[in-house]
Amino acid sequence: MVTNQQRITRSLLVIALAALALVFLYHGAQAQLRGNGLSLPPQPPDEPVPAFTRIVTITVEPGEPLTPALTSLWQTSYISFPVGPGGNQFPVPLPSDATDVTATVNCGTYDIVSGTIQFTLTESLCHFGYDFRTNERVTRQGNQHGISQVVGSNASFLYITTIVFTAPYEFVGFIGPTPLTVTSSMLHWEQVVPENEPPFHRFRSAIWLADDPHVITRPDLQIVTAGLELDASSIISSAQVTAVIYNSSTMDSGAPTHINLYDRLAPSSPPTGPLDLAGGWCGLDTTPACPSTATFTNPVPIIAAGETMTLTTDYTFAQCGPRNLYLQIDVFGGEAGLNLEADETNNQITLGQVDVPCLIHLPLIRK
């Protein structure tokens, strides 16, 4: 008589032999394909494979204090740019004041007409580039200069970019992808740009350089007063938050100013600085992703010298229990935020502690 244990043992032996046979068949099929000069389809890569490489070097040249913009040299190269069988027309619009314009191409021709470089590419993979100087790309914002880069493609690409600047300019902060290298005179990025604005792959970055502090006044943003009023009529715990912001200096705020509302489990400590976003209304994103409600619009409008601005918002608590609330003006960017100020110690305020009730869910009683 065959016992149950023997039946189980035979079944396991049959399964093991079948699995072993499948393995031999799989490797045999692979060997046959390789013998015919074929290969199995590769596994999709974890990261997108760049279709080409774009290299940009931006050199900021010194200028006179309080000038509206600084002259900058933009040098751009495309490496292994894909071209279809019928060729490709590639127009590059130039700033209206572009000077010292040069271009190169190893697989076709180019023509500079009416402020545009028109490349005609003929081979499958092309290398080409162009340089120009302009006063329209590094513009003043308050006591600082802003440099924006927006580059896109319908295919993934490797973007290598470097911004070079000299004294007396000082790097303040940035919005966008984090630079790979930051020194006292250079910023550098290397990034395979993913599809982030379907169907486009787009690199967006904005950085700010401060003027010489010995020549140009720095703004001073401070939260003068703040208030918190609970809404007792609502089932969901909420509050209205008010903040009065004052620029006590003789210079307008420069780069975009963001205000962050913090909701932390009590007992807690205030934010340690502009880069401490834990529990913040703006989240932990590398770029500002703050909700905008009432006059808590982010970024906050430019605050002129000597101007006071009142901001209000309705805030709904997402967690219950004892909560500590704080406010901070000029977050993100760098250790000093996005605006290098005369006083960095007055940018935050404690709103106090709120005991948010927890809703009690009673068990459902079935009849």
Are residue 112 and residue 239 in the same domain, yes or no? no
Q: Which of 177, 210, 243 is the last residue of a domain?
A: 210
Are residue 86 and residue 153 in the same domain, yes or no? yes
Q: What CA–CA distance (Å, rounded) separates 159 from 139?
A: 23
- 77: containing domain: 53-210
Domain assignment present for residue 336? The answer is yes
- CB-based contact 314:238 (threshold 8 Å): yes
Q: HSE on the CB side for 52, CA within 13 Å?
A: 19
Q: Which of 210, 245, 270 is the last residue of a domain?
A: 210
Would you state the pLDDT for residue 33?
Answer: 28
Q: Which of 311, 293, 291 lies closest to 301 in space, CA to CA?
A: 311
Would you state the pLDDT for residue 45?
Answer: 52
Domain assignment present for residue 215? The answer is no
Q: Which of 170, 145, 204 lies closest to 336 in space, CA to CA?
A: 170
Are residue 66 and residue 193 in the same domain, yes or no? yes
Are residue 69 and residue 205 in the same domain, yes or no? yes
- H helices of the chain, in order, are 4-35
Domain assignment present for residue 1? The answer is no
Domain assignment present for residue 126? The answer is yes
Rg, Å, the chain Cα set:
30
Query: Phi first, then psi: what are they for 320, rounded to 5°?
Result: -100, 175
Q: Helix (H, G, I), strand (E, B), or coil: what is residue 14? A: helix
Q: What is the CATH number of the domain that holds 161?
A: 2.60.40.1730
Q: What is the CATH number of the domain that holds 330?
A: 2.60.40.10
Would you state the pLDDT for residue 233?
Answer: 67
Q: What CA–CA distance (Å, rounded) separates 17 from 14?
A: 5
- CB-based contact 133:100 (threshold 8 Å): yes
Are residue 77 and residue 179 in the same domain, yes or no? yes
Are residue 251 and residue 147 in the same domain, yes or no? no
Are residue 257 and residue 344 in the same domain, yes or no? yes
Domain assignment present for residue 45? The answer is no
Indicate if the alpha-carbon torsion angle 35, 36, 37, 39 is positive or negative: negative
Q: What CA–CA distance (Å, rounded) separates 257 from 299?
A: 5
Would you state the pLDDT for residue 285?
Answer: 74
Number of structural domains found in the chain:
2
Q: Which of 210, 237, 254 is the last residue of a domain?
A: 210
DSSP string, 256-268: PB-EEEEEEESS-
Q: Which of 172, 328, 143, 174 lies closest to 253 in space, CA to CA?
A: 143
Domain assignment present for residue 15? The answer is no
Are residue 201 and residue 271 in the same domain, yes or no? no
pLDDT values of the chain reduced to their tens digit, one per residue, 367 residues: 545 455 545 554 444 444 444 333 333 333 332 332 333 334 445 567 899 999 999 999 999 888 899 999 999 999 999 998 889 998 999 999 999 999 999 999 999 998 999 999 998 899 999 999 999 999 998 889 999 999 999 999 999 999 999 988 999 999 999 999 999 999 999 999 999 999 999 999 999 999 888 888 899 999 999 999 988 666 678 899 999 999 999 988 889 999 999 999 999 999 999 999 999 998 887 777 888 888 999 999 999 999 999 999 999 998 999 999 999 999 998 899 999 999 999 999 999 999 998 865 444 545 4
Are residue 72 and residue 206 in the same domain, yes or no? yes
Query: Phi first, then psi: what are they for 295, rounded to 5°?
Result: -100, 10
Are residue 120 and residue 230 in the same domain, yes or no? no
User: Which H or E run includes 298?
Assistant: none
Please give the model's pTM, rounded to 2 decimal places.
0.80
Domain assignment present for residue 145? The answer is yes
Are residue 241 and residue 347 in the same domain, yes or no? yes
Domain assignment present for residue 173? The answer is yes
Are residue 179 and residue 88 in the same domain, yes or no? yes
